[in-house]
Amino acid sequence: MRAVKQAGGIARETVDSSVIQAMGYDDDHALLEIEFVSGDVYRYLFVPRRVWTELRNAPSKGAYFSNMIREKFPTARLT
């Protein structure tokens, strides 16, 4: 994974996934930011660090996202 700094957002790291382009986590505010391969960027609120760690380590980040994050946390679309 390689870090990609986003102006005004959370630093994201690119990942090997057919669904997720890059993702980052703000530990101080429990925010998860995901950039999808479509170019859409979403921020997920109140995400525990454990979920971030499991997502980073998941063999299929798209499957983990679908099962453990999508529609489970308050969400804001950024782009």
Residue 9's pLDDT band (cuts 50, 70, 90): confident
In one letter, which amino acid is 55? L
- 21-44 confidence digits (pLDDT tens): 999 999 999 999 999 999 999 999
Task: Please state, as a whole number, how many other Cβ atoms lie within 10 Å of the Cβ of residue 47.
Answer: 22
Tell me, rounded to whole angstroms, the distance of Cα 24 from its chain centroid. 5
Q: What is the pTM of this model?
A: 0.90
* Residue 8 pLDDT level (bands cut at 50, 70, 90): low
How far is Cα 71 from Cα 54, in angstroms, rounded to an integer? 17
Token readout for 34 is: 């995901």
